[in-house]
Copies of this chain bind each other. A is one copy, B any other.
Amino acid sequence: MSAILEKVNIEALREDFPILKEKVHGKDLVFLDSAASAQKPRAVIEAMTHVMTSQYANVHRGLHYMSERTSEAYEAVRDKVAGFINAAARDEIVFTRNATESINLVAYTWGRTALKPGDVVAVTEMEHHANLVPWQMLRDAHGTELRIIKITDSGEVDWHSLEDVFADGRVKLLAVTQMSNVLGTYTPVERLAKFAHAHGAKILIDGCQAIVHRKIDVRAVDADFFVFSGHKLYGPSGIGVLYAKADILDAMPPFMGGGDMIAHVSYQKSTWAKPPHRFEAGTPAIIETIGLGAAIDYVNAIGMEAIAAHEAALTGHALAVLPNIEGLRILGSAQDRGGVISFVMKDAHPHDIATLLDRQGIAVRAGHHCAEPLMGRLGVTSTARASFALYTTREEIGALAKGLERVRKMFA
């Protein structure tokens, strides 16, 4: 792909995102906070509007036209998601609110039945709170142990630490991010899955960040659980996904009780529906699920490979440009890394950086990024973070660098 062709494509794609035309404090919006939540293409907005203006009713329980059409559209997204991550079967896809709920669902159901007190859940030092706190809560409620796998100074999984943590054979679950939302590190999930399986453990992969930037193949990786959120993948808020292998889901008790998740209810006893419905109690996020389907169609039409190539180029550019700013330090230097870049600046606090960039129309995040323990490991209390999406341009990285220069000068 020549640079010119790429430029043309990105400009065309940006047209799909109405919000990118907005001004912020009178400046063009430069949105570099997509890792927190991505902007929505018109196709997603229109799919949601379409449901609400012309084919809406509650799903599953209706025998009338609107309900049947809506149920079909809703269930079709299950196939889409299954295809998108290459699941073996549609019934391995459970819809949740977000990745956080997906992980909690696993902790509450699989965690409290498949795990025994004394069994170990292992996570890495660079997990998002969503992949840490549920395992702490399981530990405190159920008597499992929680172990932390160290990362290297470059921000990669420390293989020695991994082996130490697994040495006594008590680890039954490795819960690990596929891409750090702070360091941008991709973890070697295929190798990690092999390692976990060889040691008698299952693997849960937090795919929140990775799925936005790379083609996911849960079967090639041999993931036992895989979770992500729709809102980071250009889809709506309020919809997330839990993938789990069919035999695992089959053995899991339900999470929440209510409509749609039962086979039969009497006062004495209720019996549960088969997966995935067993885990989808009550009226689901119908409109949002259909919106997620449109988001998947959208990125599929562009192609995950093209998106990955574009973002790799951007990331390379940013990693070359930003260190030229005096006093700026990028955190993490993994070999395999994506377009999420955390940094600190001498004498300028991340909060001040974010506020001052915002005044120039540039949106970056500052804080602990829901990874407070990782901050401790990195020796900071917070960082500023710029993150890229398919609509991010080289010019925007230039604007960021220029903005940071101005910040530097103020605090110099």
Q: Given the known inter-chain contacts A130-B258, A363-B62, please indicate yes or no for A282 contacting B237, CB distance below 8 A.
A: no
In the complex, the answer to whether B133 meets A270 with C-beta atoms within 8 Å is yes
Determine if B258 and A18 form an interchain contact, defined as CB atoms under 8 angstroms apart: no
Whether B237 lies near A61 (C-beta < 8 A) is no
Contact A130 B282 (CB under 8 A): yes
Q: Which residues of B contact A25 (CB under 8 A)?
A: 65
* Residues of chain B within 8 A of A133, CB atoms compared: 257-258, 261-262, 265, 270, 281
The distance in angstroms between the C-alpha atoms of A129 and B267, with both chains bound, is 10
A236 to B236, CA, bound (A): 12
The complex places the Cα of A216 from the Cα of B233 at a distance, in Å, of: 38
Do A19 and B52 touch across chains, with their CB atoms under 8 A apart?
Answer: yes
- Across-interface contacts of A370 in B (CB, < 8 A): 61, 258-260
Q: Determine chain A's interface SS by DSSP, over half rule.
A: mixed
Cβ–Cβ < 8 Å partners of A54 in chain B: 18-19, 22
Q: How far is the CA of A376 from the CA of B269 in the complex (A)?
A: 14
Task: Decide if B287 touches A238 in the complex (CB within 8 Å).
Answer: yes
In the assembled complex, the Cα of A52 lies from the Cα of B287 at a distance in Å of 14
- How far is A108 from B351 in the complex, measured between Cα atoms in Å? 37
B284:A237 contact, CB within 8 angstroms: yes
Task: Judge if A104 is at the interface, Cβ distance under 8 Å.
Answer: yes
- Contacts A100-B256, A258-B129, A288-B237 given; does A45 touch B53 at CB 8 Å: yes
Q: Are A283 and B137 in contact (CB under 8 A)?
A: no
A33: interface (CB < 8 Å): yes
A259 and B52 contacting across the interface, CB-CB below 8 Å:
no
Q: Which among B31, B57, B366 is the interface contact of A33 at CB below 8 angstroms?
A: B57
Residues of B within 8 A of A367 (CB): 61, 63
Task: Count how many chain A residues have C-beta atoms less than 8 Å from C-beta atoms of the other chain.
Answer: 95
A281 lies within 8 A of B100 (CB): yes
A36 to B37, CA, bound (A): 31
User: Contact check: which of B63, B67, B136, B265 meets A372 at CB < 8 Å?
Assistant: B265
Q: Mark A360-376, 1 if CB is under 8 A from B, else 0.
A: 00111111011011001
State which of B57, B98, B136 has its C-beta within 8 Å of the C-beta of A283.
B98
A266–B136 Cα gap in the complex (Å)? 10
- Contact call B53/A101, Cβ cutoff below 8 A: no
Alpha-carbon distance between A328 and B68 when the two chains are bound, in angstroms: 26
A110 vs chain B, min Cβ distance (A):
15
Chain B CB within 8 A of A330 CB: no
**Cβ A137 vs Cβ B237 within 8 A:** no
Is A103 positioned at the interface, with any CB of B under 8 Å from its CB? yes
9 example contacts (A-B, Cβ-Cβ < 8 A) are as follows A18-B54, A24-B64, A33-B66, A37-B286, A61-B367, A130-B257, A133-B270, A229-B282, A264-B372
Closest 6 CB pairs between A and B? A100-B282, A133-B257, A238-B285, A238-B238, A100-B258, A130-B258
Given known contacts A19-B53, A238-B285, A260-B370, what 13 new A-B pairs fall within 8 Å (CB)?
A19-B55, A29-B66, A36-B58, A52-B236, A100-B281, A130-B257, A133-B262, A134-B258, A136-B257, A146-B267, A236-B288, A265-B372, A267-B373
